[in-house]
């Protein structure tokens, strides 16, 4: 088993992301926890493996935009970017 154990949690993360999308797609509330967890996971990978995992940048941007939009009361460009990114299955 050459892959880190967290690699095997990726399908669980993807499934949880889709479930969250299905439950609250209209308001974008799913974006903060999904992108925040993804950014933290990628940052952990970057720190522990000493190899850049750009997911902490892309997911971090989505988390920041989603948080700002939630604070302002509604989805806009950042949430739309995040939804398209998640639907496309983009992984850094």
pLDDT surpasses 70 at 88: no
Structure token pair of residue 40: 């933290």
Dihedral sign, CA of 48, 51, 53, 56?
Answer: positive
Q: Mean pLDDT across the stretch 64-85?
A: 67
- Residue 86 token pair: 């998640």
Q: For residue 51, is it left (φ>0), alpha (ψ between -120 and 50) or beta?
A: beta
pLDDT tens sequence across 36-60: 898 998 899 899 888 888 888 888 8
The pTM of this model reads: 0.68
CA distances 42 to 32, 37, 70, Å, are 15, 9, 23
CB 28 within 8 A of CB 41: no
């Amino acid at each position: 088993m050459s892959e880190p154990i967290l690699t095997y949690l990726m399908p669980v993360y993807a499934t949880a992301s889709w479930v969250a999308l299905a439950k609250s797609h209209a308001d974008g509330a799913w974006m903060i926890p999904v992108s925040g967890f993804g950014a933290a996971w990628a940052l952990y990978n970057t720190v522990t493996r000493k190899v850049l995992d750009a997911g902490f940048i892309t997911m971090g941007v989505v988390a920041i935009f989603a948080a700002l939009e939630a604070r302002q009361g509604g989805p806009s460009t950042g949430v739309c970017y995040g939804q398209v990114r998640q639907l496309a299955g983009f992984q850094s």
